[in-house]
Amino acid sequence: MTISNVATLYRYEADKVAQNRAQYTRETAFEVIRAHNCDVSYQLAAGTSQTVTEAKTMAQSPWRFELIERGPIVPGSVILQIAGELFFDDAEGNIVRNYSTSTGAGTVVGLIDYESTRCTIDNYTGRPLTATVTPIAIVVGDDWSVLNRTTFRTSAAPLRPNGFNVRADNVETAVQYNGQADNQGAITGDGITGDVDLQKGLAEITFPAPVLASTVFYNAVSYKQIPLDPAILGLDPVRLPSDGRVPIVRDADILVITHTKKDLVNAPAAGLVVNAGRDRLHDAWFEDSVGTRLDPAQYTLNKEAGTATLATPFVAQDAENNALVGDLFFVHRIDDMALCTEARIDGTLQLAQPLYHNFPADETWVASAVYLGNLRGRVKNFACYVTDPGYGGTGTPSNGQYNLVNYPIAIDNRGSVPERWKIIFTSTTAFRLLGEHRGQVATGTTAVDFSPLNPQSGTPFFTIKSDGWGAGWATGNTAVFETEAAAAPLWLIRTVLPGQATVEDDSLKIELRGDHN
């Protein structure tokens, strides 16, 4: 009799019983199945098979790949094409699908490591089983970022008004943008807008186009309270106001009130009379659209009446015969001088007399004038010696002497200069003139009047009459004297506060005015 069993087979015979066992070998195999649902077939036992269908949901495996062999990658520079669709890097480590360049919105489907260049995409609904990844754009290099708006705090505060500047370079064209804050902190220039809190140093700036963050620089001047050293200041700091500011106008100062106006000349033509609309002009001229002045020979001024008449014939040119550019303008200035009787702490100035002109308050400037007193050119300390004593020295009087009583040295205000002079005789009649600061200026003889020319004014420094020399002069004899100018020394100190240059060229003009008899 034979009995069949799943695992063993038994057979009975007359004289013996034998048992045969089936031999099985177990093997384990693993296979990655990329599917949501799958059918699994397996055999239950040897000699018998049965197919069982079982449904099972499996986790979706992410895509992982590296873009390049070596990084880093510039954030925000990656564009990938996967299965015909574009994916973007949002510069914050995310890979975005359905990205809108106008709104910046999209669906995050994965991550990107900028250092290792490894990308992981794990959230992609409807993702195909296989796809080709094509890099459209990748910028490899050190980390940098692009921005068109920034907020930051300066390293020090409070800031000086008009002392804040900012600049940055366009990311595409490398064009530099420059902005400057006014005295209220409003930032403008080259399309830049924004504000800076002058007390706290907090700046918020918007650029007209995307710029490289690495090119954004600012310049600022801040205030800092430090102990004042009397040895450095030269005065006791206790006498200074708490804010360090001192008045520039004081009681009894002479003030100059001035206003300049610029009028367009319509249809300039020969003989045209241009009226400033006010009389007693201090100064007036014509200039073109770029500030080049009209040749003074092309017009005549009547400052008392406040008019100017163009020449006949009239040519719109400068003093070098170059044609003017654009429109012609008549620029005229009025000035009044007055004595300040009271300078109040609120900035109000009280004057000793009423002003002659009507000055517009929002366009008028007030300046303090330096009073120099009576000025005139003169000659002093004249002496004659046997040998050259040097400038300011003394020696043995010479036989020849100049007759200052009957023939004084003539000098006028226009040609006079502050100088110490020597006249050294090279023969009994010939001599040369030397100045302490000018060196040898001229040569002359006792036979004619001696009038060395001042090249700055076009007039003589002085005039020495020939009749005053007399006789008795010898080689080496020296006459020394000094001249004073119709001027006064001034210390001019122009202070430029630290900061970025705002103009390419700058200048100032010093005006000397006075009364004469």
Claim to verify: residue 259 and residue 355 sit in the same structural domain: yes
- What pLDDT is attached to residue 24? 46
Claim to verify: residue 460 and residue 357 sit in the same structural domain: no
**Residue 350, SS3?**
strand
User: Residue 36 pLDDT > 60, yes or no?
Assistant: no
Structural domain includes residue 296? yes
DSSP-derived letter for residue 313 is: S
Both tokens of 189, joined, read 């220039």
pLDDT digits (tens, 9 = 90+) for 131-145: 888 888 888 776 567
Q: What percent of the chain has pLDDT above 90?
A: 51
Render the burial of 305-314: b for 16+ CB within 10 Å, e for the rest.
ebbbebbeeb
Where a domain ends, among 369, 390, 423? 369
User: Residue 393 pLDDT > 90, yes or no?
Assistant: no
Helix intervals (H) in 331-468: none
Where a domain ends, among 369, 397, 416? 369
Distance CA 211, CA 175 (A): 9
Claim to verify: residue 362 and residue 387 sit in the same structural domain: no
pTM above 0.85, yes or no: no
Asked if 435 contacts 420 with a C-beta cutoff of 8 angstroms, the reply is yes
pLDDT digits (tens, 9 = 90+) for 445-492: 999 999 999 999 999 999 999 999 989 999 999 999 999 998 888 888
Structural domain includes residue 263? yes
Both tokens of 328, joined, read 């012609």
- What pLDDT is attached to residue 322? 95
- What pLDDT is attached to residue 486? 86
- The owner of tokens 């790949």 is 65
Average pLDDT over residues 323-331: 96
Claim to verify: residue 453 and residue 472 sit in the same structural domain: yes
Claim to verify: residue 390 and residue 429 sit in the same structural domain: yes
Claim to verify: residue 393 and residue 339 sit in the same structural domain: no
Distance CA 229, CA 243 (A): 16
One-letter amino acid identity for 360? P
Q: Which domain holds residue 356?
A: 254-369
User: Residue 20 pLDDT > 80, yes or no?
Assistant: no
Structural domain includes residue 266? yes
Residue of 485, 397, 373 whose CA lies nearest to 437 = 485
Instruction: Outline where DSSP puts E strands in 250-348.
Output: 254-265, 273-275, 283-287, 299-302, 307-310, 328-343
Q: In whole angstroms, how far apart are CA 405 and each of 9, 23, 185, 238, 311? A: 164, 154, 70, 57, 51
Claim to verify: residue 262 and residue 292 sit in the same structural domain: yes
Higher pLDDT, 90 or 1: 90
pLDDT digits (tens, 9 = 90+) for 418-430: 999 999 999 999 9
Asked if 108 contacts 123 with a C-beta cutoff of 8 angstroms, the reply is yes
Average pLDDT over residues 179-198: 93
Claim to verify: residue 323 and residue 407 sit in the same structural domain: no
Claim to verify: residue 477 and residue 438 sit in the same structural domain: yes
Number of domains present in the structure of the chain: 2
Both tokens of 358, joined, read 């009507």
Where a domain ends, among 352, 369, 386? 369
Distance CA 307, CA 301 (A): 6
pLDDT digits (tens, 9 = 90+) for 348-384: 899 999 999 999 999 999 988 888 888 889 999 999 9
Claim to verify: residue 464 and residue 385 sit in the same structural domain: yes
- What pLDDT is attached to residue 344? 85
10 Å Cβ neighbour count for 513?
Answer: 9
Claim to verify: residue 398 and residue 431 sit in the same structural domain: yes
Distance CA 378, CA 361 (A): 43
Q: HSE, CB side, 13 Å, CA atoms: give it for residue 52.
A: 7
User: Residue 5 pLDDT > 90, yes or no?
Assistant: no
Structural domain includes residue 364? yes
- The owner of tokens 């009397």 is 230
10 Å Cβ neighbour count for 164?
Answer: 25
Claim to verify: residue 399 and residue 349 sit in the same structural domain: no
Mean pLDDT of the chain, nearest integer: 84
Structural domain includes residue 285? yes
Structural domain includes residue 18? no
Structural domain includes residue 240? no
Structural domain includes residue 301? yes
Q: What are phi and psi of 207, to 5 degrees?
A: -95, 155
Distance CA 325, CA 345 (A): 46
